Structure 1
Amino acid sequence: FLDKLITKVNLQSPDMVVIVGDLIDANPKDLKNYISKLNDFNSTYGTFYALGNHEYYHGINEVLDLLRKHTNMKILVNQNLDLGFINIAGLGDLAGLDKGLYAPDLARIKVDLNTSKASILLTHQP
């Protein structure tokens, strides 16, 4: 499934790829080969990722470690990036409120947000 999805996305020649959570719904240790395939997305500005609630079910820190080690995605957890022509920001997931980790914090995103540019906010549960 993932290979077909990546092929279809790449055929569109996207400017960016965004993933807004629920990427992982299994033990992270069993997913290294699956996760590394995410590097096959081709886009002008890269692949951007925000958390979903399913990432918490299997250990949010383990999931984030796996993604950081095995992908080139820009992981946005209550932070933003200035891409020069636009801002892209990722909000923590509501599941973080119960777990006490990476809860949504819009104020933190706004701290260094360049408001003279348009912004895209990635969130799993708007």
Structure 2
Amino acid sequence: MPLQVGYKYFPFKEISLEPKAFSPSIKNLRIIQLSDLHLSKNVKLDYLKSLVEKINSKNPDLVVFTGDIIQIPAKNLKKHFEIFRAIEAPSYYVTGNHDIFYGPKVLKELLSKNDVICLDNEITTIEINNSFIQLVGISDRYSFARGIKRGVKKLFSELNKELFTILLAHQPKDIYYIEDENRIDIQLSGHTHGGQVYPFNYVVKFFQPYFAGLYTHNKTLLYVTNGLGYWGVGIRYKVPSEIPVITIN
């Protein structure tokens, strides 16, 4: 399908990842990644309800939102966020540049009420299938515009090197913060939209060396999704949207 218009697709895409070092007990861990939704009043509630139903039918162990959730102030999307409460798996998010622009504080308040937890500049450890997994998130690179200090180096120094670790970061370039002494097995990012509209994707690729798909950076696997939504015009051309369904093999 070369042309996509509007929010009416559920483009789940199966992705298999094989980190270089991980506990066998997390084998078959399933993660659904939602990125770049760019929610506005144009996104119908029925679409989101169907999306959540389809997510639950995939039986993920974890759902993560990797930024740019909103395209208008969060206070205008309360009913949209309420639908996320029906997600059955533990759900976490980090902000993207659009979330920073439209106001991360209200976004955090409203999402937390609906069981989607903010991981901006935070570390949490969760138990899934009798294994402990470390999640770390960093707020968007434009956080300084809101007076938010990311403190990435200090945050990474507090990671437990013995635990399988997943980093959520909206912009793929944040992988350059990962140093050899950090234990980060996987980074999940979005932001690029894969260019969204051909041939504009070639321009985006010039500025984003980690552009779309799977990469290896030192010991870390990086997956950059095309994302689900739209920025600017509500079309995609030869750059399909996607909802990664990631399985650890």
The TM-score bracket by the shorter chain reads: 0.7 to 0.9
Write out aligned runs for 1:1-126 (5 A).
1-43=47-89, 46-68=90-112, 70-84=113-127, 85-97=132-144, 99-126=145-172
Following superposition, the deviation at residue 76 of structure 1 comes to 0.3
Q: Which has the higher contact order (CA 8 A, sep 6+)?
A: 2
Q: Is the 8 A contact 2:100 2:140 kept in 1?
A: no
Q: Deviations over 1:76-108 (max 9, x none)?
A: 0111111241101111101213x0433543223
Q: CA deviation at 1:6?
A: 0.8
Partner amino acid, structure 1, of 2:138: L
**CA–CA distance in structure 1, aligned partners of residues 111 and 82 of structure 2:** 8
Identify if the C-alpha distance between structure 1 residues 53 and 103 changes in structure 2 by more than 3 Å, giving closer, same or farther.
Answer: farther
Amino acid at match of 1:60: P
Indicate if the aligned counterparts of 1:79 and 1:89 stay in contact, CA closer than 8 A.
yes
- Alignment length (residue pairs): 122
Give the C-alpha shift of residue 59 in structure 1: 1.9
| Rounded Cα–Cα distance in structure 1 between residues aligned with 2:58 and 2:148 | 33
Q: Equivalent residue of 1:110, what SS?
A: helix
Gap runs ≥5 in structure 2: 1-46, 173-249
SS at match of 2:85: helix
Partner-residue secondary structure (3-state), 1:29: helix
**Which residue identity is paired with 2:133?**
I
Aligned partners of 2:169, 2:92: CA distance in 1, in Å?
A: 11
Conservation of the 8 A alpha-carbon contact between 2:111 and 2:117: no
CA contact (8 A) 2:64 2:93 kept: yes
For residues 146 and 75 of structure 2, the distance between their equivalents in structure 1, rounded to whole angstroms, comes to: 23
Letter in 1 for 2:50: K
Q: Is the 8 A contact 1:79 1:109 kept in 2?
A: yes
Look up the equivalent residue of 2:109 and give its one-letter code: D
**Residues 96-121 of structure 1 deviation map (CA, whole Å, 9 limit, x = unaligned):** 13x04335432232243111011000
Greater helix proportion: 1
Summarize deviations over 1:25-58 as a string: whole Å, max 9, x none: 1122211111111111112xx0011111111222
TM-score in terms of structure 2 length: 0.46
**Normalising to structure 1: TM-score of the pair?**
0.86
Any conservation in 2 of the 1:50–1:90 contact (CA below 8 Å)? yes
- In structure 1, the gaps of 5 or more residues are none
Structure holding more strand per residue? 2
Letter in 2 for 1:66: L
